[in-house]
Structure 1
């Protein structure tokens, strides 16, 4: 149950006479209605309102629930007079909107109580409009939001209205607050009556709505109902706050769980270590040997030595069989292709840009940039097992965003704002994708670009990045475990 559902339930109990007890000494609604009819007769006699046709008696079939004996069912239109507003005519000077008098439109009916409109009109403009006193109820009868809401407000200062609003001047202003919570509160009964009368074009069948039966308590009981509703409001607000916080937690939980699982994985806490699987030191020896082979065969260039790793740099403890390494000992960073607009063609070499990086994969679009095949550079063509990084962008959220190349592509390269991270030893690709998907990596990139107006990621941000490396067999078990768990997080996220 939402806070609004709770409030609706309370208001439904209120209009059924179940929120506060009845008291014999407070009289009856019949006595109150006699006074309201007398007031209406006085206004007719003084020619302040016109005499209206008698409304049909309320049948038992129209009464949706039982009410206390001291209450009465009464038609809404019997309690006051409805009238419509309008927009000043073209004959009014163009500066009619520059004045001091409230002119309320449907855009104003967002607050419970209205003291000032968005548009103030001149006194001349009001000559063809009716001015309503404080205590008048305003109801929106034409709006694009009627299928969802029934906007109602209570005037706290005089004003006039446009044609999308009906004004309800209540004969006895003492009952205005009770009627206001009846209508504004949207108890299930009122909401049902309202929705029955909303047309497909978001207009209210007002004549039908205006004669709906309203349960009327004695005046003193109305006041006690209002006081009780006011007393309960802080509890409703507290419930709403708690529910909002719970909903936020539920919405954050799948993402937070995903981040926690990845962090657990790279800290060596997701799967147990097994002695027979060897050590990361042995894995590093194989990676260094593979890198040396690639250098010898002139497939990659020899790189500068990486900075030594100090104990102060290590952000958390890792298992004994693991090793701290710099990312530059595992991969090379390759820049993208620069080009000019007049070199773009309709086919040939597809160039990936920031918009193609759609973690965890890449996306290809019909409006991608193409260059002549003469721009092709074997080193810059993406390969299966590559990791693509957004290296230059105006957004700190996007900088460093990765995409993983899970299959082979033909004739696809990257633009100058991207980087290719290419592993020396492709067997570690699944584990390295976990690193690039982790909050540990995202935090590193955020801190690296902090304070720069243009978010440019230097190659050193990747090459010098310190990561924990497990033995290869443990990497495979870790990835398999996450392949079981992460879809559960995605399924939870989809539910919210």
Structure 2
């Protein structure tokens, strides 16, 4: 049960007379109704009400949804309150004013959802607009009647209301103010309102529909006890809600946190055991160096691509096993950006439906002028995700595909090394390799300078396999 459900349950217990005990010495609710009847008769004699306002619409047995205590009464809202709709002088812009004599113009935007009171408003209207609207006073109830209808508020200010509001003014002495607020806030009241607007093309909660609603009326003394109990319990419900939200947030974040933790263990050499028979990473580096030298001879790489900037002690973030090596990203990477295959516009239009398109963060439906047809590692070159890392910045593209100019295109001696480098890049912070804040960018030089903890190739395979196994288990937590 979440906090809102718990609150609904408390309010339901309250309006069914089960939240606090009844006191046989309380003046029954029937006495309140007699006083209202007498007040209405007085107002009829004074010409402020019409005789038809004395007519009470009976409540049938079929309308009563639950039992209430004997000292309570079922009543229609229209029999114990005055309900009226607001209005708007039009065009409203011509009536808005900053003048000191302006009247408060209370809008739904001046409320806090879930709040109880309206304490201020942002706009005022000219006094001459009053004849087209309705004035409300501190203590009046306001009920939204369109869009998010059925939300009650108590106004603490005097002002005018537009036609998105209903004003509800109880007859004196019938309701404790907060008790009426909690009735109108209950799931029971909201369901009645929903039932009354169901099927309408425009779901507006007009005054007649609210007036026809029925509510349970306790003795006034019991209303006060109910309010006291509700206000004792609601802070605890709020605390529970905050704790539940924190737990839900933790649960939602847990899979990603676990994955980050697993990746960190992996790149520090603690996820799988080392095997002394593995060919060390130094041998792998020598093979990569040899392959690059051959590419230089073939004119596919430049001599500068063989240059290696030494790694200082200050750059090493953690210890690694003896069989591992600290290397620069560019040392073990072959950049394929310059090998993109250019195609004409005409060629692209014919091939557009045949190939995927990879941008910095996934497959998108746009075509660039380059085509690849082998597995390659793509790393985003720019964008906020380089810093906030809300989604992986690196992934392996396969098949035949287009790549835009927002991703680095990288090749490796073998796919096992590529897989390891993909997870490595996704596990570390790239902040120190990124330039710019408004438009973050990681150029090739910065990318190539990334410091990498490189395991033996056989251990890379074990790491990748273990991560895939563990991630599959973590993903089950989301289901």
Query: Which range, TM-score by smaller chain?
Result: 0.7 to 0.9
TM-fit CA distance, 1:223: 1.3
Name the Cα RMSD after superposition.
3.2
Deviation per CA, 1:226-265: give whole Å up to 9, x if none. Answer: 1222222221121111111111111111211221222222
Question: Against the structure 1 CA distance between its residues 397 and 472, is the aligned structure 2 distance closer, same or farther, given a 3 Å change threshold?
Answer: same
Residues 1:124 and 2:128 are matched in the alignment = yes
- The answer to whether the 8 Å contact 2:95/2:129 transfers is no
Which residue number in structure 2 is paired with residue 138 of structure 1?
142
Mapped to 1, the partners of 2:27 and 2:438 lie a distance apart of 73
How far apart are the structure 2 equivalents of 1:174 and 1:56? 18
| C-alpha contact (below 8 Å) 2:380/2:408 kept by paired residues | yes
| 1:213 positional shift | 2.1
Structure 2 counterpart SS, 1:34: helix
Q: State the shift of 1:89 in Å.
A: 5.0
Structure 1 residue 128: Cα displacement: 4.0
Q: Measured at CA, do residues 29 and 401 of structure 1 come closer, stay the same or move farther in structure 2, by a change above 3 Å?
A: closer
Q: In 2 relative to 1, CA 315–383 (structure 1 residues): closer, same or farther, beyond 3 Å?
A: farther
**Which of the numbers 423, 426, 430 marks the counterpart of 1:434?**
423
1:131 counterpart SS class: strand
Task: Say if 1:220 and 1:490 are closer, same or farther in 2 by CA, change over 3 A.
Answer: same
Q: Secondary structure of the residue that 1:467 maps to in structure 2?
A: strand
Kindly state the Cα deviation for residue 449 of structure 1 after the two structures are TM-superposed: 2.5
Name the residue aligned to 2:412. Answer: 423
Q: Where does the alignment leave 5 or more consecutive residues of structure 1 unmatched? A: 371-375
> How far apart, in 2, do the equivalents of 1:390 and 1:139 lie?
51
- Give structure 2 stretches of 5+ with no counterpart: none
Shift of 1:58: 2.3
Q: Distance in 2 between matches of 1:86 and 1:491?
A: 54
Q: How far apart are the structure 2 equivalents of 1:118 and 1:394?
A: 36
**Equivalent residue for 2:65?**
64
Superposed, 1:345-384 pairs within 5 Å as 345=345, 347-348=347-348, 356-359=358-361, 362-365=362-365, 367-370=366-369, 382=372, 384=374
Aligned-pair CA distance for 1:8:
1.0
What is the distance in 2 between the residues matched to 1:137 and 1:235? 26
Q: 1:95 to 1:131 in 2, by over 3 A?
A: closer
- Residues 130 and 300 of structure 1, relative CA distance in 2, 3 Å threshold: closer
**Distance in structure 2 (CA, Å) of the matches to 1:437 and 1:398:** 12
Equivalent-residue separation in structure 2 for 1:288 and 1:96 (angstroms): 75
Moved more, 481-490 or 119-128: 481-490
235-244 or 398-407, which deviates more: 398-407
Matching residue of 2:154: 154
How many pairs are equivalent?
462
* Partner SS state of residue 307, structure 2: coil
1:101 Cα offset (Å):
1.4
Asked if 1:479 corresponds to 2:458, the answer is no
1:199 maps onto 2:198 in alignment: yes
Shift of 1:76: 1.4
Alpha-carbon contact 2:288-2:332 (below 8 Å) kept: yes
- 2:189 paired residue number: 190
Render the CA deviation track for 1:170-195: whole Å, top value 9, x for unaligned.
Answer: 111561321111102x2x32232122
1:373 alignment partner in structure 2: none
Change (3 A) 1:81 1:95: closer
Q: Which residue of 2 aligns with 1:464?
A: 449
* Alignment CA distance shift 1:308-1:66 (3 Å): same
What corresponds to 2:397 in structure 1?
Answer: 406
1:329 counterpart residue number: 331
The alignment's TM-score, normalised by the length of structure 2, stands at 0.85
CA contact (8 A) 1:333 1:422 kept: yes
**Residue 117 of structure 2 corresponds to residue 113 of structure 1:** yes
Separation (CA, whole Å) in 1 of partners of 2:338 and 2:378: 10
Contact 1:280-1:469 at 8 Å conserved across structures: yes
Tell me, in whole angstroms, the C-alpha distance in 1 between the residues paired with 2:466 and 2:297. 37
SS class of match (1:210) = helix
**Equivalent residue, structure 1, for 2:237:** 236
Tell me the distance in 2 between the aligned counterparts of 1:453 and 1:191.
46
